Structure 1
């Protein structure tokens, strides 16, 4: 695995490392190296060399720096000499860039390849709202004319094998947020994210925010439970790879009861509220939740209890038993 060094002025590298691991999970072979106001170049150089020495793979090293021309970059440039064939430095470090680096090194052992890829991601992470404030890319080609609308796919059309593919079905009270839009999307590669919620489907503001939060190349839809049940049976979705997001296990059970071919539920986070007990650092269960998970288990549903792909799996049976005991 490519080793990653995050280098910055002040505590920025430590902070962005913590932020990236909140989204993508704990990461091996990632070190933050910071230049404090009281330190000089030589002290930073020593910390940088020690950090590289701590990596399990010192043949492939990627250094992400905050600023071109600053001390962290200058000392990294000095350290990279003699390793240019396998090491790389990228400046302008931001959160989308780091998360993409984590994802890319799962499939690539080439620091140069990852460096080239994450430059594009880092630039794409700079967006404005309102979108009208976004500057045009210099030298960009004129926008192509909008394609002619083809209309809805006729009812009864069969795409693929006629059965929608569920690459992930997740229970998460926060629905579509950073961990889902980045870590899980990269892990399971859906082409559509479907938020299944009666409440959100009828809340125009929340619905709009969720649709805007979809990562590039993935469409997000918010539908009520009844609509999801129709979609699950519609052969026009046979070529769709869907990630389903439920606010609670009760909504998931309704869709499964109606015939959706869901074999496994990823349990991400369930917020604490009155009448619920906390059973781990992300999940709180009430009596209705306990009964719902029992019904799901009776149906043969498997549980994958993780906030992010890098987390170790928790045991749902143990969590349900803990909640049941505390709720008596």
Structure 2
């Protein structure tokens, strides 16, 4: 695992690390060094060297500002070290790409991160003006009927966000994200936001539950790796009752509301939802709770039952 060191003026590096771990979970290989207001290049250089001595293997340093002290000192000390890569432009997207990037070069990481910097209003207008292509004739996909390649089905009220778009989709090698929720499918502004949030390398469908069942069962997506995202457990139960086939569902995030019961630190449910989960489980679907892939999956129904005792 490559060591990642975020270096910055002030507390930017620590802030990026904190935000990143909210999305991707704890990252033991992620470190920070800050140039304090009363510090200088010598103080910063000493701290950087002390930190670097503790590492084994490859390291990538991400500095905040091109030409700033953190970037300049890093370059002066490690320019000739083949095991150390150095880049500038520290931001949350850059750091996330670095965490997810494996052996990609800094140039490739920066290229991917740049795709997240957009004029949101202008992009939203483009998406709104693009016509939806609706297809009613599903008979042409008969050869793939019953062969849907569903790599994960997830309940997450936030739908497409950092964990789904950046972490889960990449880990699962997703080819198509499918948001399955009646309200989202019928809301132009929400569909627009979802389209902008989805990774450009993946196809996206935002469908009603009925349309999702019809399309998947008809084989419309061939053997694409499908990642199904439901907003609520009631969407999953409806999907099953309408003829959708699922073997496993992951529960990611269901926020706290007054009167809800805590199942995990990220999952709070109502009594009605407890009954819905029981119905999903009784249909033969395995249900686990898992926020990010780096954390272990837990038996959701066992946690639910323990909470009820």
Instruction: State the Cα RMSD in Å.
Output: 2.3
Q: Which residue of 1 aligns with 2:139?
A: 156
Seen in structure 2, the aligned counterparts of structure 1 residues 253 and 151 have a Cα distance that, compared at 3 Å, is: closer
* CA-to-aligned-CA distance 1:199-241 (integer Å, 9 cap, x gap): 2222222222112211112232221111112112112222332
Matched residues in 2 for 1:114 and 1:286: separation? 46
Seen in structure 2, the aligned counterparts of structure 1 residues 280 and 11 have a Cα distance that, compared at 3 Å, is: same
Q: Which residue of 1 aligns with 2:75?
A: 77
Seen in structure 2, the aligned counterparts of structure 1 residues 304 and 53 have a Cα distance that, compared at 3 Å, is: farther
Q: What TM-score do the two structures reach when normalised by structure 2?
A: 0.89
Q: CA deviation at 1:74?
A: 1.4
Q: CA deviation at 1:256?
A: 2.2
Range with bigger deviation, 313-322 or 64-73: 313-322
* 1:202-217 matched pairs, under 5 angstroms: 202-217=186-201
Q: CA deviation at 1:82?
A: 4.1
Q: Answer yes or no: is the 8 Å Cα contact 2:138–2:215 preserved in 1.
A: no
Matched, 1:117 2:108: yes
SS in 2 for 1:229: helix
Matched residues in 1 for 2:27 and 2:142: separation? 39
SS in 2 for 1:290: helix
Gaps of 5+ in 2: 125-132
* CA-to-aligned-CA distance 1:17-48 (integer Å, 9 cap, x gap): 11111122211211011101101111111221
SS in 2 for 1:215: coil
Q: CA deviation at 1:154?
A: 5.3
Matched residues in 2 for 1:178 and 1:160: separation? 35
Seen in structure 2, the aligned counterparts of structure 1 residues 202 and 73 have a Cα distance that, compared at 3 Å, is: same
Q: Which residue of 2 aligns with 1:8?
A: 8
Seen in structure 2, the aligned counterparts of structure 1 residues 264 and 66 have a Cα distance that, compared at 3 Å, is: same
Q: Answer yes or no: is the 8 Å Cα contact 2:6–2:13 preserved in 1.
A: yes
Q: What TM-score do the two structures reach when normalised by structure 1?
A: 0.84
Q: Which residue of 2 aligns with 1:145?
A: none
Q: Which residue of 1 aligns with 2:92?
A: 95
Gaps of 5+ in 1: 134-149
Q: Which residue of 1 aligns with 2:118?
A: 127
